[in-house]
């Protein structure tokens, strides 16, 4: 925890003063959900493991970690302080998005928290509230937290493993795109990148207008379109993934897995970039670069056979083509042919 935040919270009770059991007793009540959310929880927290229903005999499973100073800062250059609520919400959102991207629905989460001993108890309670609110407000109507683990570390780290069900259907993989398919987007792209740029700028967060502030909010609490994944599967999507590392990089993954070419429609890109104008103008930044390289909105990128009516929430942004001679799988844009930049945890 940065020194200034450590000082700021000096008078607050920290986790150092609590046993693991005491801390769990503070967290569990905040993870309670309505019955509809716990319908898949056969056995909840309190034993060596939890038990979750898998009605069709299969469990979809993904895992994702957020680490302090890598995935979020407690204090940003523009003065914004990341709350426990933000971190909890984001942990829920990015994991729910992985289930969404298979065309599945989330059934349960387990959470492993690593906390420095000087973490305020209130920050951890706030994280539990954010997890619960994220699950509920994003519409994961049959998902709840079934269990977890607590431990110490030098930096805050939050790992969520999320379980889901395909309701007897087939998953939508990255590898099924066919030449002639429509490429479509659900949710936003570039908003979280614009928010990140604002957080890292010297424009004080409390001076932002609502039309600018919205991007900071999307970076802190992403809103993956959880209805869109199962809807895309039902509509016959041939391939799908969530955009966590940018349109170029994730589009490149879809192209590589499907051994095809992805072409982005310049008019669609211009329209998506236009949505980012308030932040781009404030910072003198390139909105299209946010659209192409920005992840963390957790929108869905999916392909559909030509002629299919796109499900609600999806708009066409390009197409799939067969690879030409000497053409490798990749993403073509008017701007940067073949470039599949974007976010990589190690090489940047």
CB 328 within 8 A of CB 254: no
Residue nearer to a copy of itself on the CB measure, 114 or 280: 114
Task: Calculate the alpha carbon distances from 4 to 7, 10, 122, 125, 199 in Å.
Answer: 5, 10, 17, 21, 18
Provide the H-helix boundaries in 111-234: 121-137, 191-199, 210-220, 228-234
Question: Binder to a copy of itself among 7, 12, 70, 315 (CB under 8 A)?
Answer: 70
Does the protein bind a copy of itself through residue 111 (CB under 8 A)?
A: yes
Report the site for a copy of itself in 80-99 (rule: CB under 8 A): 97-99
Task: Tell me the closest approach of the beta carbon of residue 253 to a copy of itself, in angstroms.
Answer: 9
Is 206 one of the annotated binding-site residues?
no
Does the protein bind a copy of itself through residue 241 (CB under 8 A)?
A: yes
Does the protein bind a copy of itself through residue 174 (CB under 8 A)?
A: yes
Is 296 one of the annotated binding-site residues?
yes
- Using the structure block, give the residue that is written with the tokens 């982005």: 264
Does the protein bind a copy of itself through residue 159 (CB under 8 A)?
A: yes
Task: Tell me the closest approach of the beta carbon of residue 19 to a copy of itself, in angstroms.
Answer: 4
Helix (H, G, I), strand (E, B) or coil at 78: coil
Does the protein bind a copy of itself through residue 344 (CB under 8 A)?
A: yes
Task: Tell me the closest approach of the beta carbon of residue 104 to a copy of itself, in angstroms.
Answer: 7
Cβ atoms within 10 A of the Cβ of 347, count? 4
Cβ neighbors of 216 (< 8 A, separation 6 or more) are 80, 195, 198, 199, 205, 208
Does the protein bind a copy of itself through residue 71 (CB under 8 A)?
A: yes
Burial class of residue 69, CB neighbours in 10 A (0-12, 13-18, 19+): exposed
Task: Tell me the closest approach of the beta carbon of residue 145 to a copy of itself, in angstroms.
Answer: 11
Does the protein bind a copy of itself through residue 189 (CB under 8 A)?
A: no
Question: Binder to a copy of itself among 92, 93, 110, 183 (CB under 8 A)?
Answer: 110
Question: Binder to a copy of itself among 31, 50, 143, 192 (CB under 8 A)?
Answer: 50
What dihedral do alpha carbons 222, 227, 231, 233 form, nearest 10°? 60
Cα distance between residue 341 and residue 81, in whole Å: 29
Burial 272-305 (b: 16+ CB within 10 A, else e): bbebbebbbebbebebbbbbbbbbbbbbbbbbbe
Does the protein bind a copy of itself through residue 55 (CB under 8 A)?
A: yes
- Torsion-angle region of residue 258: left (phi > 0), alpha (psi -120 to 50) or beta? alpha
Task: Tell me the closest approach of the beta carbon of residue 176 to a copy of itself, in angstroms.
Answer: 11
Cβ atoms within 10 A of the Cβ of 143, count? 32
Question: Binder to a copy of itself among 29, 46, 210, 284 (CB under 8 A)?
Answer: 46
Is 245 one of the annotated binding-site residues?
yes
CB 182 within 8 A of CB 202: no
Task: Tell me the closest approach of the beta carbon of residue 150 to a copy of itself, in angstroms.
Answer: 6
Task: Tell me the closest approach of the beta carbon of residue 67 to a copy of itself, in angstroms.
Answer: 4
Does the protein bind a copy of itself through residue 346 (CB under 8 A)?
A: yes
**What spatial distance separates the first Cα and last Cα of the chain, rounded to whole Å?**
24
Report the site for a copy of itself in 123-152 (rule: CB under 8 A): 146-152
Mark the binding-site residues, compressed into ranges. 48, 62, 64, 71, 98, 148-149, 174, 242, 244-245, 296, 343
Binding-site residue set for substrate: 71, 296, 343
């Amino acid at each position: 925890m940065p020194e200034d935040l450590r000082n700021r919270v000096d008078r607050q009770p920290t986790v150092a003063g609590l046993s693991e059991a005491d801390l769990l007793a503070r967290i569990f009540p905040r993870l309670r959900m309505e019955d509809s959310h716990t319908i898949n929880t056969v056995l909840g927290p309190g034993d060596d493991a939890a038990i979750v229903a898998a009605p069709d005999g299969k469990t979809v499973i993904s895992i994702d970690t957020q680490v302090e100073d890598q995935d979020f800062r407690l204090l940003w250059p523009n003065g914004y302080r990341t709350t426990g609520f933000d971190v909890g919400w984001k942990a829920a959102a990015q994991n729910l998005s992985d289930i969404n991207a298979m065309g599945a629905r989330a059934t349960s989460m387990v959470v492993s928290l690593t906390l420095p001993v000087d973490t305020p108890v209130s920050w951890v309670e706030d994280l539990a509230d954010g997890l619960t609110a994220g699950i509920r407000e994003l519409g994961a109507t049959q998902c709840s937290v079934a269990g977890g683990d607590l431990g110490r570390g030098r930096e805050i780290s939050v790992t969520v493993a999320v379980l889901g069900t395909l309701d007897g259907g087939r998953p939508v993989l990255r590898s099924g795109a066919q030449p002639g398919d429509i490429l479509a987007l659900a949710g936003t792209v570039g908003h979280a990148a614009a928010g990140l740029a604002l957080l890292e700028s010297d424009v004080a967060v409390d001076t932002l207008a609502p039309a600018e502030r919205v991007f900071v909010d999307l970076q802190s609490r992403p809103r993956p379109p959880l209805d869109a994944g199962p809807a895309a599967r039902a509509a016959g999507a041939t391939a799908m993934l969530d955009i966590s590392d940018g349109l170029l990089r994730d589009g490149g993954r879809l192209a590589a897995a499907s051994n095809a070419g992805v072409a982005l429609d310049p008019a669609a890109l211009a329209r998506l970039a236009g949505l980012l104008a308030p932040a781009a103008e404030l910072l003198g930044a390139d909105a299209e670069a946010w659209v192409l390289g920005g992840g963390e909105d957790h929108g869905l990128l999916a392909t559909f056979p030509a002629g299919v009516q796109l499900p609600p929430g999806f708009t066409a942004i390009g197409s799939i083509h067969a690879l030409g001679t000497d053409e490798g799988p990749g993403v073509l844009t008017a701007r940067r042919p073949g470039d599949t930049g974007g976010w990589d945890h190690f090489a940047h």
